[in-house]
Chains A and B, each alone.
Chain A
Amino acid sequence: MAPNDQKTEVVTPAEVPEDLPLPSDPKVIFLGGLFVLAVLAAASVVSEIVLPLVFAIVLKLLLQPALRVLERLHVPRILAALLLILALFGMIVGLGTAISGPARTWAAKLPEGIPRLEERLSFMRAPIDTLQRFLQQAEDFGGTEPSPNAATLAQGPTLLSKLFTGARHFANGFFTTVLFLFSFSCLATFSCTASSKYCRALGVSARWWKSRSK
């Protein structure tokens, strides 16, 4: 076996940092954190400047392949860039003009459409009333005094307001629950993967130290 082959069997110290290098100096971590915070604070304060800049960078990266295609077709770089910008703005203006009319029509339809929607969703009236009755009974069972204006309240709000209030509360709770569950499940999966990789890195590191001490 050649000496070079023997070297490859021993884990070199360079292999561990190559796997997942982490900054070991706390000063570097804190300075990095402060730098990120400063950048985010600046991005928030001067968003009028930063936002167009970010859009410009994203658009530049987006249009780069098209620019390369035009360059391959022997179109000068400046002319190609100008053509692409003009095409993009033309498309935005064209789309804006094309959708402004229909968008206005739909916005005008909206107030007229709400009673229609209420009518369409009338099949949900029975379950909502049942649910409300059930909640009222549960409240009564719990010993809570019925509110003096309960009758007024029962008659007062329309089906739509009942529906949307209930739906809003339900959506709030449901969204929070789903978000938490989703986050926890993803975090669990991620932490399992990350910990296995770090354990592997630690194992490699330990083997290296052992081989070195021998």
Chain B
Amino acid sequence: MVEISQQIENDVSAYLVTITIMNAAVGIAAALAMWLTGVGDPILWGTIAFLLNYVPILGTALGVLIFLFAGLLTHDTLWQALLPAGLYFGFHLIEGETVTPMLLARRFTLNPVLVIISLVFWFWMWGIPGAILSMPMLAITKIICDRLQPLAAFGHFLEG
């Protein structure tokens, strides 16, 4: 039992550290992109991108809208105004579709429908902190279920 709890702890820790490092990378990339495109305040945009990346799907959509708004308020030409939002979306695509799935094993992948349901549910229950915590909590539940034999079927149900 102690060994199982140790394994669960290690898996959850590895998962959380991986997604946090990836979110930080997206935040740094977004900050650099905003600085290079002339929007300014890279720390603010980097922090926003880092935090929003914890919220699946809706976080990215909101981030694109915010960056689009910032671009439109800063630049006069349309392509320059669209550039920050486009770059942010590109970074998210590279991170979400290529790098993170490569770093995380298949057993850490989650069912997208359940990710959305969990997001809506925790946002309704706890607001913004709930939305940020929804994905880590779902992943923790899945990892625990995978490691405990009587809950393995539920763990399989949570898998993507």
B128 CB to nearest A CB, Å:
11
Number of A-B contacts (CB under 8 A): 83
B111 contacts partner chain A, Cβ-Cβ < 8 Å: yes
State which residues 120-138 of A face B: CB under 8 Å. Answer: 120-121
Taken together as a complex, chains A and B put the C-alpha atoms of A120 and B111 apart, in Å, by: 40
Among A70-78, A144-152, A179-187, the one that faces the other chain is A179-187
| Residues from 97 to 118 in B contacting A, C-beta threshold 8 Å | 111-113, 116
Q: Does B129 contact A (CB under 8 A)?
A: yes
The A22-63 residues at the B interface (CB cut-off 8 A) are: 22-23, 40, 43-44, 47, 51, 54-55, 58, 61-62
Q: Binary interface profile of B, 60-78, with partner A (CB < 8 Å = 1, else 0)?
A: 0000000001101100001
Q: Interface SS of chain A: helix, strand, loop or mixed?
A: helix
B150 touches A21 (CB 8 A): yes
Expressed in whole angstroms, the Cα–Cα distance for A186 and B160 within the complex equals 9
Q: Are A187 and B113 in touch, CB under 8 angstroms?
A: yes
Tally A residues with Cβ within 8 Å of B: 38
Asked if A20 is at the interface (CB within 8 A of a chain B CB), the reply is yes
A51-B152 in contact given A64-B9, A113-B73 (Cβ < 8 Å):
no
Residues of A contacting B73 with CB < 8 Å?
A: 109, 113, 116-117
**Given A43-B125, A61-B9, does the pair A106, B112 have CB atoms closer than 8 Å?**
no
Rounded to whole Å, the gap between the CB of A210 and the closest CB of chain B is 24
- Given A183-B116, A190-B113, decide whether A120 and B43 contact each other with a Cβ distance below 8 A: no
**Which residue of the partner chain, among B78, B113, B156, contacts A186 with CB atoms under 8 Å?**
B113
Give the shortest distance, in Å, between A42 (CB) and chain B (any CB).
Answer: 11
The 8 closest A-B pairs by CB, nearest first: A102-B41, A102-B44, A113-B73, A99-B44, A186-B113, A64-B13, A61-B13, A62-B16
- Given A58-B136, A120-B72, is A65 in contact with B13 using a C-beta cutoff of 8 Å? yes
Does B37 interact with chain A (Cβ within 8 Å)? no
- Is the beta-carbon distance between A23 and B150 smaller than 8 angstroms? yes
Which residues of chain B from 107 to 148 have a CB within 8 Å of any chain A CB? Answer: 111-113, 116, 125-126, 129-130, 133, 136-137, 140
Contact A106 B70 (CB under 8 A): yes
